[in-house]
Chains A and B, each alone.
Chain A
């Protein structure tokens, strides 16, 4: 490793940090006395420009990876680049939603924190070393805590942020503790070395400590993706955070965290082939690798988290009266579906592609959903289900967007949510058609039938039930344009599912 390489590989992160500084300088230095709307627009546009620049760098030089000696630090290309591109695109969308918001006067700081968080997301998407992973996660998470608390006039926002922070701090401690065990056992922080050595240790003599370490790590990462039973922060945060911040947490942070889980899963699968120890040569097969070492209990942990998340997420969502909390529980259940894919990851990149397809489209849809909620909230003052009454009369276009997004979340074809689920489940069954993966997929499909009920509860209010208040709801043109673009993308990608999967495929080396 030399510093020139480091600089080249982390150019997108650097671009985001530079953009964050520029936003701060421009907003605090030159625009202090101008109207808030101007400041918001300038800050958001500068942020979007930063994201676009970083995106361009990812697309142009994204294939490079960075190693220290023989140990990989940052991966390039493949899943890492897809996730990075997705993070940047989704961040830009959430920044555009900010233009309509009035929750804070500190727009420069807000945009800067969003950009720095996104830089953390970029880091973990490509991280291949325990320390880099931890630093990236902290960079991402700290930003998220601040963003949650950004609405200083709302008690809920502060409460949610404190809860999120406390839960987050604790889970980070668990994660670090788990990492320290791994380091202690294997003497390395490189993901690749750790998985290899853990494998041989468990084969040679069993390693109870490995199980402990993995449980700790599952706690830490389960928190990030909002998997049950580490989900308790999610409903409060989704409810209390300002709408653009909630959209950011629900999309960008999820993409980054799932990208990290893909790296960990792929690392455990990479230990197959010929290993030479002194005079012994050991041939490790794919099958053996998935039975012992990290792979041996990792899939079980993920499968348990997945089952719990699907059941609790979907059932708890049934009882919600706040649309934001409903979206939080729906996010938990979607995390449950994705975890099935992670528990049964395929050696070839089929599963990774399916998971990225899912999380990318889910992130897009959920940003749109929060956009709609934000508009309705501003007009009616609450995000209760009843605030959506008569939306089809009050703003037909917004109601149509809501219809498309929620039906996509429910997985109704020909919207993109259906293909995401279908790709994912097909990938799982393609890895293994044994009873456990099949039962998990069956549970997921059955639970998505349950989910239709609560999505329809919202749509029922928007389209069916009579309303008292028929005053039109207006949305800022930029917000409306963003929402329409998202809805159109959901429909178009649903009708032509190969558009997105071809784009994802283009990042992977041709076999």
Chain B
């Protein structure tokens, strides 16, 4: 059933292309209908899959001579991520309700991207996964380059090239794995059981892992992320931060760790305390957490703050993966979900609700607008989103990051200590942005007040309210009752770690 999320998205994209020009409302409602249908299927698939292990959805031979199958399957990990994609898609469309330029093309690229993302999450065949992974690159480029803002062509090209270089690294690794395994199947499960030689795994793992981690925003390959997020139109930022970065992290987990578990084994020697690829990537993840947070603290552009915060939060995902223990990896998967929701909400507030009315993202200019009074909805929505982003208890981020930190402590206490600094700085930059943008105490002069009285901000629209409430509500609900996701994630992580690592 979950396979229909893919078909509906691509069919929707095709329909959008065929729509006559000028039917913008039709395009919007059609896109929303496709996304809602996708979400409904994702929810139904999630509910139906509770307490079940891996279920094959569809398995058709695609290129029989090479053993490539059109193989889609669902387990606890990807059910959660498909759910996230459904939510992000619906909210992304709600927050792009005001797109007037080439509307149908916008939604065509948007739905094609969503279809690719669903495809990556559901594929259980290595090459199918790779195919969907690359399908997702092109729509991203056009979404940013056509509908973006600040330095959009530069940012779009940078994003496309980073993604393509990452996928080229993955392709090299996959070809090598396919040739080395000598098996006549490219199924993930079949390849995981192919007993690839340890020396092969040792060099192939970092190649594939880095290739995917580029898209997950791993430091020092993160630089596409802030520029890309800032340049992208709101809905695309929400998708980029919300689900596209998760594609990378998911690839790291499913392909990197799942196929090459011995790539994480100790080298047998250690340099400055680093004795395996696991240490290398964990250190990079921790650096990403702290570096992203510190850079976010220094930004003058509101959207860049959120952009760098994504780098920091994705560091937690990668750190969680490198703990290689049950609690850490579970935390990483939950963090993928949680960050997808929270980053989407933050980008929606900054890029849409605030920017569409103030036409600036400079914190220094926003400071003089006393937005708390003029846009109370945005202010309080950002308070909630900020609290969630900081990792306050009661929100999904808290549960996820706590698990990652506990897992990291088990693996290496120093990682936890260093990541802790990132959390503290995280509070600081969120607080700073909140204070400067909404609650600054610079009082407006009489002249400004009068001008503001004449030109009040446009009222908050229903799509904005719906989207905000949906995202904030999900984050709160998962924070208060994390078992709803954890019960699904945990068995799948256990199976993955047992089948692959250790």
Contact = CB atoms under 8 A, between A and B. Distances in A.
A463 B142 contact: yes
B141 A413 contact: no
B176 A464 contact: no
B179 A452 contact: no
Contacts of A456: 141, 157, 160
Interface string B55-93: 000000011111000000000000000000000000000
A430 B134 contact: no
Contact of A433 (B63, B64, B179): B179
B252 interface: no
The dominant DSSP class at the B interface is: helix
A452 B63 contact: no
A386 B173 CA distance: 38
A251 B128 CA distance: 30
Interface stretch (B34-42, B164-172, B275-283, B336-344): B164-172
A456 B130 CA distance: 20
B496 interface: no
Interface string B149-174: 00001001100110011011001100
B14 to A, nearest CB: 11
Interface in A406-448: 407, 412-414, 418-419, 422-423, 425-426, 429-430, 433, 438, 441-442, 445-446, 448
Contacts of B239: none
Contacts of B171: 445
B148 to A, nearest CB: 10
A463 B146 contact: yes
A146 B65 CA distance: 43
A28 B397 CA distance: 81
Contacts of A412: 134-135, 137-138
Nearest to A442: B172
A452 B168 CA distance: 11
A453 B176 contact: no
A414 B63 contact: no
Contact of A413 (B66, B130, B165): B130
A438 B176 contact: yes
Contacts, number: 75
A471 interface: no
A463 B156 CA distance: 13
B425 to A, nearest CB: 34
Nearest to B61: A498
Contact of B131 (A413, A426, A465): A413
A498 B63 contact: yes
Contact of A464 (B65, B153, B165, B172): B153
B266 to A, nearest CB: 25
Tier of interface size on chain A: 20 to 34
A426 B175 contact: yes
A441 B161 CA distance: 19
A347 interface: no
B398 interface: no
Contacts of B135: 412-414
B180 interface: yes
A460 B155 CA distance: 13
A463 B164 CA distance: 20
A426 B178 contact: yes
B132 to A, nearest CB: 8
B153 A441 contact: no
B186 to A, nearest CB: 10
Given A438-B176, A452-B164, A413 B146 contact: no
Contacts of A464: 142, 145-146, 153, 156
Contact of B145 (A425, A429, A460): A460
Nearest to A433: B179
B142 A441 contact: no
Contact of A425 (B153, B175, B180): B175
Contact of B160 (A452, A465, A497, A498): A452
A413 B142 contact: no
Nearest to A432: B179
A501 interface: yes
B168 A449 contact: yes
Interface string A441-485: 110011011001100100010011100000000000000000000
B126 to A, nearest CB: 12
B137 A446 contact: no
Contacts of A460: 145, 153, 157
B178 A498 contact: no
B152 to A, nearest CB: 8
A463 B109 CA distance: 12
A433 B156 CA distance: 36
A445 B173 CA distance: 11
Contacts of A465: 153
B168 A448 contact: yes
Contacts of B178: 426, 429
A467 to B, nearest CB: 13
Contact of B161 (A414, A430, A449): A449
A135 B188 CA distance: 51
Interface in B108-151: 127, 130-131, 134-135, 137-138, 141-142, 145-146
A383 B274 CA distance: 55
Given A497-B63, A498-B65, 13 more contacts: A413-B134, A426-B66, A426-B179, A433-B176, A433-B180, A442-B172, A453-B157, A460-B145, A460-B153, A460-B157, A464-B146, A498-B64, A501-B63
16 contacts: A413-B130, A413-B135, A414-B135, A423-B66, A426-B175, A441-B175, A445-B168, A445-B171, A445-B175, A449-B164, A453-B161, A456-B141, A460-B153, A463-B142, A464-B156, A498-B62
